[in-house]
Chain A
Amino acid sequence: MPIEIPLDKWPGSVREVKIGATAPEGGTRGRTVVVGGQKSMPFMHFEAPAPHRPVIAIEVKNRRPEDWSPLLANVWGDAMDDPGKWAKAAETVGADLIQITLSLGTKPDEAVQTVKAVLASTGLPLIVFGPGQAEADNELLVPVAEATKGERLLLGICEDKNYRTIVATAMANGHLVNARTPMDVNLAKQLNILISDMGLPLDRIVMDPSTGALGYGIEYGYSVMERLRMAALQGDSMTQLPMLVTPGFEAWKAKEAKVGSGVPASWGDWEQRAINWETLTAVALLESGADIIVLRHPESVKRVRSAIEELASEPVTA
């Protein structure tokens, strides 16, 4: 018996945002990444085809992170001592973009050097995150933005405490901002309005509604993203922005990924469990509307990629 699938038709759409600039566009990237453009809820391409699939960024750091899992240290090896090499390795395992996260304590000169080294080693577009403290972020991101004028970097973390500085430097130097708020639809929208009021065009803003790992508040983050996406499709211009989330960062903090010993045997193999945690966190967030997923483990990248391929290409027939 044929089943008719009910179709939604939404009046609004998500804005397209392009990250990175090639030489003719004023940058040095080998290619650019475009996200957004959806006219339907995630993977409902039978309602309206999505022009762009979600993309995967791999996170690298400018200094070997001492607090990362030994599982990640094993898989990335010596590349972790050299952000340029690390970024190249990330490109090799299938990243669409590189997120370079600057460690706390990094000096402005060092930050500029690192970002330039990563730009030289890979042709992928870059996301540059400061250490995640408003003042330190300002201190590092401003010189980085100035030294890389025209590259259309995605600069973060841009939050209510420091958005003025980050937005100003993004405007002056042809970059984009990653607008982060703590899992709250009202605050997410408010920050978009404030940034837009400063004059940065909406097609240079990505929103980062924050999230939690599987088992650590992901359902709350999921609802926030779903609600923002529905508002966007209903026509609310201040929510019509692509979303970035960092399931790699979140999942590797979770005990299930972090702890190798002293847990019940039924939890199974540590590495498989950790990868599962990162992958499942990421896939749930894809379903809630994430456009850019930042991961850490190459195997998770592979699995999330395969999930995206399957979700985005599977024909839905009656």
Chain B
Amino acid sequence: MYIIGENIHIISERVKIALKEKDAKYFQESAVKQVEAGARALDLNMGPRKADWQEIFPWMVQTVEAVVDVPLSFDSTNQLGIEAGLQKVTKAQPIINSTSAEPERLEKVPLLAKKYNAKLIALTMGSSGIPIAADERVNIAVETLIPRMLEIDFPISDLIIDPLVLTVSGCQQYCPHLIETVRTLQYSWDPPPAISVGLSNVSNAVPAQNRSLINRTYLAMLMGAGLQMMIANPLDEEQNEVIRVIETRDESSPVGRLYLKIADRIAAMEEPTIDDVEMNDPQQVAIWKTVQILLDKVIYADAYLGQEAFA
């Protein structure tokens, strides 16, 4: 699993303060920690920085590149800021996060990526929003995003499609469709573009104590569908354990076997069943209940783990 570390994100209060104080040490420690935990690239989301982009984007690149060698992903809507950052990159091939299929963004952002030989994350979102159905999202990739890349001679091998994870708390019906989108996108083009998702979006607006369980259960399902890249928190050890279990097919623990079974079921285009679960193990029951909400079989509620399980 190729993890783009998500922890340098303006949504974090700590990051906000560090940015304000230009606390290089904070960002360097975060970068090193993420890379040591397995991040293969680092997402940098500093917000639009309308006032100080000229200063902040290059500063961040220099700060982070002083301590790590991995690709940097510029996660911003400010194209001037992104460009200012790209000009300072000296190490790995950078990533622009992101364009969408909206005409204005799709016009400009791919050209910027091409100019600086950056990879490009492209969202399956058009002017009318994010479609629910898997085939509609695949269509945006095949009919709009990829043709634009071909038009400007942008290598599809540098394209990363992000089919957009939405939260189970409020957008539950999107969750199963996203799995199918990930599955289908791999056959959408030859050679196929890379596929990446923002995993933790699936648990936005979910009480903190349940987020990690929802994230890693969804991850097992997505890995079953073939996911190999994601923007995620590389420091989430339980998540990393699920990745290891599935990638190495480690059947030595009961919970690990369940995650592996879930991935295998999804890979075989089946749904996990209650027979896959040892119902006397509370951890497995919690995973089963989580599968049920992620497949939109049972309506999500914050207290969903407190409800009795059913088949």
Contacts and interface: CB of A to CB of B under 8 A. Distances in A.
Nearest to A239: B299
B170 A194 contact: no
Interface string A217-261: 000000000011001001111110000000000000000000000
B208 interface: no
A189 interface: yes
A53 B82 CA distance: 62
| A contact face: mostly helix, strand, loop, or mixed | helix
A93 interface: no
Interface in A164-186: 184-186
Nearest to A227: B299
A197 B306 contact: yes
Contacts of A194: 303
Contacts of A234: 297
A104 interface: no
Most buried by A among B299, B300, B308, B310: B299
Contacts of B170: 184, 186
A298 B301 CA distance: 38
A193 interface: yes
A257 B298 CA distance: 38
B300 A236 contact: no
| B contact face: mostly helix, strand, loop, or mixed | loop
A190 B301 contact: yes
Contacts of A239: 299
B172 interface: yes
B301 A193 contact: yes
Contact of A186 (B172, B307, B310): B172
B169 interface: yes
B21 interface: no
Interface in B91-149: none
Contact of B298 (A187, A190, A192, A236): A236
Contacts of A193: 301, 303, 306-307
A194 B307 CA distance: 10
Contacts of A190: 301-303
B303 A186 contact: no
Interface string A186-217: 11011011100100000000000000000000
Contacts of A186: 169-170, 172, 299-302
Nearest to A185: B299
Contacts of A185: 172, 299
Interface of A: 184-187, 189-190, 192-194, 197, 227-228, 231, 234-239
23 contacts: A184-B170, A185-B172, A186-B170, A186-B172, A186-B301, A186-B302, A189-B300, A190-B301, A193-B301, A193-B303, A193-B306, A194-B303, A197-B303, A227-B299, A228-B299, A231-B298, A236-B298, A237-B307, A237-B308, A237-B310, A238-B299, A238-B307, A239-B299
Interface of B: 169-170, 172, 297-303, 306-308, 310
Closest 7 CB pairs of A and B: A190-B301, A189-B301, A193-B303, A231-B299, A189-B299, A186-B300, A190-B302
